[in-house]
A = this chain, B = another copy of it.
Amino acid sequence: IIVFDEECFQGRRHEFTSECCNVMEFGFETVRSLRVESGAWVGYEHASYQGQQFVLERGEYPQCDAFGGSNAYHIERLTSFRPIACANHRECRMTIFERENFLGRKGELSDDYPSLQAMGWCNNEVGSLRIQSGAFVCYQYPGYRGYQYIMECDRHCGEYKHFREFGSHCQTPQIQSIRRIQQ
């Protein structure tokens, strides 16, 4: 990943091949554009992988708005980021549960779902979930919009038993679309 402190790949530039806990330590005030050259990464609003999170896949992001987490919660900051190691799994599998602690009705997912309701999930919420393999990104709204939560089999032992474990900024169990992350 190559990050720049000005828009359109201008200004100070730094290339990373592994995680960065705080881009300010490299003389950046913030990141205003970036290019992902390989792999899949997750970016965070604050240092130490805190705040809003958002998936970064191969391609060009010429301004903050291009990578900023969501439509609804517009952010202007990217302060830490890390590669998603398990995103090269060929097979992505997860189970979603209606209620917290892996209770209630469940659904097995191994594909991309722009609308969970269209695939038969009768709810705009997911109470808890378990990742058997690979990595997924869950979104608050249909069509891959709103808050993002990156969920990996390598983190939390793949278990997210309450919406507070979905991410440090997560305030509701509302999840309406889910897709796989692949490199």
| Interface positions of A (Cβ within 8 A of B) | 36, 54-61, 63, 65-68, 70-74, 112, 114-118, 124, 140-146, 176-177, 179, 181-183
Chain copies in complex: 2
Q: Roughly how many angstroms separate A115 CA and B114 CA in the complex, as a whole number?
A: 16
Chain B residues, Cβ within 8 Å of A176: 59-60
Cross-interface CB contact of A143 among B71, B115, B144, B183, cutoff 8 Å = B144
Chain B residues, Cβ within 8 Å of A57: 114-115, 118, 142-143, 177
Q: Roughly how many angstroms separate A65 CA and B63 CA in the complex, as a whole number?
A: 19
Q: Is the CB of B59 within 8 A of A141?
A: yes
Q: Roughly how many angstroms separate A140 CA and B63 CA in the complex, as a whole number?
A: 12
Q: Roughly how many angstroms separate A20 CA and B119 CA in the complex, as a whole number?
A: 26
Q: Is the CB of A143 within 8 A of B56?
A: yes
The residue of chain B having its C-beta at the shortest distance from the C-beta of A140 within the complex is B66
Q: Is the CB of A142 within 8 A of B56?
A: yes
Chain B residues, Cβ within 8 Å of A142: 36, 56-61
Q: Roughly how many angstroms separate A55 CA and B63 CA in the complex, as a whole number?
A: 23
The residue of chain B having its C-beta at the shortest distance from the C-beta of A137 within the complex is B143
Task: For the complex formed, measure the closest distance between the CB of A63 and the CB atoms of chain B, giving whole angstroms.
Answer: 7
Please give 5 more A-B residue pairs, beta carbons under 8 A apart, in addition to A57-B142, A66-B146, A118-B182: A55-B114, A59-B116, A65-B71, A112-B179, A118-B183
Interface pairs A-B: 9 shortest CB-CB: A59-B142, A65-B72, A57-B115, A58-B118, A144-B144, A58-B115, A58-B117, A59-B176, A66-B141
Q: Roughly how many angstroms separate A50 CA and B56 CA in the complex, as a whole number?
A: 30
Chain B residues, Cβ within 8 Å of A115: 36, 57-59
Chain B residues, Cβ within 8 Å of A183: 118
The residue of chain B having its C-beta at the shortest distance from the C-beta of A116 within the complex is B59
